[in-house]
A and B are shown apart, each in its own frame.
Chain A
C-alpha cells in the first residue's frame, strides 16, 4: 500500500476537519477523494504529506512517516491554493524545484522542456509567472508535481480554474499517469472528472468517508431496475417492495388512478405494458424478481438494471441524514 491511514483525525479548535479516516491506496491506483467544499479533503492531503500534524490516528506514506525526506523525492504534489513566485519564469521555477528534488543538472535540462511541452506551455517557458493566467499557473503547478517522475502524485483540485479544454487535458494526463503505473490521489469536487479518471473513490462528507469503493461497486450498491411487464396487479407491485422501493410508477393506464393500497385486487389495466422503477440493494436479486413476476402471472418484457450515475449517488449521499 502506498497510502495507509488509520483513524486519522484533525480538529481545529472545535471544528472537526477530518474524522476517523481509515483508508488505503495501492500502487498504480487512481484514487478519487470526492466531497463538497469544506469536507476535509485538503486537510487530509496535507496530513498525508506531513504539512499538517494529525490530532490523532496514524498515516503512512510509502511505508514511512508523511513528510519523511527519505520518500518525498518519490512524491509529487499540486496544492490547491498557491501563488507561485511571480518573479520567476516558468523555466526557472521548475529548475528551482528540480534542485529542491535533488535532480542533477542534466536531468533538469532534459525534463523541464519536456514537461512544459506536456502541459502546453513550451512557448511560455521564458515568461514570468506573474504574467500567467490562473489556468497557466495550474499547468505549471502540474509540471512541478511531475518533475521528479513520482511514484505517487497528490493533485488537489487540479482542474479548478481551468477551461473545459484544460480540464480535458488534465484528465488525459491522469490517464497517462495511470498507464505509466503512477499512483494518483485526486481531490476533487468535480464528479465527472472523478467518474472518468478514478479506479476507486471515497466520498467524504464533513470529515468522514461515507462511501468507498470502485466506481462500479459504489454505483452498483444502489441500483435502479426498470421493469416493463403486462398483467401486473397492484398486489404484485406491492409484493415487489420486499426487494426494494418502487420509486417511480411510470405505468400507463393504471386503472382508475386508484391507489393500489386502497384497491389491491384491481389489475393495472394496460394496453401493452406497465413500466415501473424499483430501487434495489444489489443486482443479485434480479433473477428472484423476474421469477416472482412470472409466477405472479405477469408477462415480463424487460427487467433492466439502470446503473445510477456517480452524480446521483453523490447527491443522495449528501442528502442522507447523519
Chain B
C-alpha cells in the first residue's frame, strides 16, 4: 500500500474506534450540553448586566470579554484533556493487547501506523476545537453582538495547542505504558500552565528572570503559550494597552510569533521521533 493510503486506512480505523466505542457520541452530546449551558448562562447574565449598565456599550465590553475568554478557556482545557485521553492508549494499548502485531504485519510501514493514528485523532480533535470555539463565538455574537479580535487566528492557536499535546501523548505511547504517558503529559501540561502564570506575572512586575523561566518551560512544553497568545490576540485593544489582562484567562503579554513557529516545529519533530521510536521497538 502506498504511503498515503496506508495512513488513511489507519486514520479511518481510529474514527471507527471512536464511533464504535461511543466516544464520538459522548463528545458530541456533552459538547452540545456545554454550549447550551453556556448560551443559557451567558444570556441570563448578559441581560442582567445590561440592565445595570444601561446605555454604555463600552462598559459592557469588559464583562462580555470576560465571559468569552472564560468560555474559550474552558474549551481550551477540554481540548487538552481530550487530546491526551483519546491518544494516550492508541499505541501503548495496542502494544499491550497484541493487536498491534496483526496491524504492523500487514503490508504497511510502521510510520504509516503512527502517522495514520495521529492523522485520525488530529482531525477529530481539530474538528471538535473549531466547532466548539466557533459555536461559542456565534452564541456570544447572537446574544451580545460582540466578536473578539482575530477569532480565526485564535482558534487556530487553540487547535495547535491541542496538536502539541496530542503529539506528545502519541510520542510517549511508543515508549511508555498508557498510564505513564498520561501522567507525563498531564504533568508537563501542569508545568507549562504554572510557567505561563510566572511569565505573565513576571511581565507585569517587569521581572526578566521570571519571564525567562516561563519561556524556558514553554520551550519544553509549548502548549499553554499557544493559549496565552490566542488570549492576547483576542483582547480588546484598550485592555492590551493597559498592559495587563482583564481576566485571569487572558494574557498581559503575548508569547511571540516565533513561539508559534516553534510549537509547529515541536509538533513535527515529536511526531518524527514517535515514528523513529516505534520503528525501532520490538513488538
Contacts and interface: CB of A to CB of B under 8 A. Distances in A.
A51 interface: yes
Given A87-B17, A87-B21, A88-B20, A82 B102 contact: yes
Q: Name B's interface SS.
A: helix
Contacts of A314: none
Most buried by A among B6, B102, B283: B102
A172 to B, nearest CB: 23
A73 B106 CA distance: 6
A72 B106 contact: yes
Q: In which size bucket is the chain B interface?
A: 20 to 34
A79 B97 CA distance: 11
A83 B12 CA distance: 20
B20 A87 contact: yes
A100 B283 contact: no
A85 B105 contact: no
A84 interface: yes
Contacts of A88: 16, 20
Interface string A20-56: 0000000000000000000000000010011111000
Contacts of B109: 69
Nearest to A74: B107
Contacts of B17: 85, 87
A57 B6 CA distance: 30
B102 A77 contact: yes
B280 interface: yes
B20 A100 contact: no
A144 B98 CA distance: 14
Interface in B4-18: 5-6, 9-10, 12-13, 16-17
B283 A72 contact: no
Contact of B99 (A52, A67, A73, A85): A85
A49 B10 CA distance: 20
Interface in A132-183: 141, 144
B102 A97 contact: yes
B98 A81 contact: yes
- Which of A77, A81, A82, A99 has the most chain B CB atoms closer than 10 A to its own CB? A99
Contacts of A83: 97-99
Contacts of A72: 105-108
B21 A67 contact: no
Interface string A66-99: 0101111101010101111101100010001101
A72 B101 CA distance: 13
Contacts of B108: 69, 72, 100
B103 A100 contact: yes
A73 B1 CA distance: 9
Contacts of A46: 101, 282-283
B53 interface: no
A3 to B, nearest CB: 14
Contacts of A84: 97, 99, 102
B105 A77 contact: yes
A243 interface: no
A77 B101 contact: yes
Contact of A99 (B9, B20, B99, B104): B9
A82 B98 CA distance: 4
Contacts of B97: 82-84
Contacts of A100: 6, 9-10, 13, 103, 106-108
Given A51-B283, A53-B280, A69-B1, A92 B16 contact: yes
Contact of B13 (A73, A75, A96, A144): A96
B282 A53 contact: yes
Nearest to B8: A99
A53 B97 CA distance: 20
Nearest to A85: B99
Contacts of B9: 99-100
Contacts of A101: 106-107
B115 to A, nearest CB: 14
A132 B81 CA distance: 33
7 contacts: A69-B6, A69-B108, A71-B107, A75-B105, A82-B101, A87-B17, A102-B107
Given A50-B105, A79-B101, 17 more contacts: A46-B282, A46-B283, A49-B105, A53-B282, A67-B105, A69-B1, A69-B108, A79-B98, A81-B98, A82-B97, A82-B102, A83-B97, A87-B21, A92-B20, A99-B12, A100-B10, A101-B106
Interface of B: 1, 5-6, 9-10, 12-13, 16-17, 20-21, 97-99, 101-109, 280, 282-283
Interface of A: 46, 49-53, 67, 69-73, 75, 77, 79, 81-85, 87-88, 92, 96-97, 99-102, 141, 144
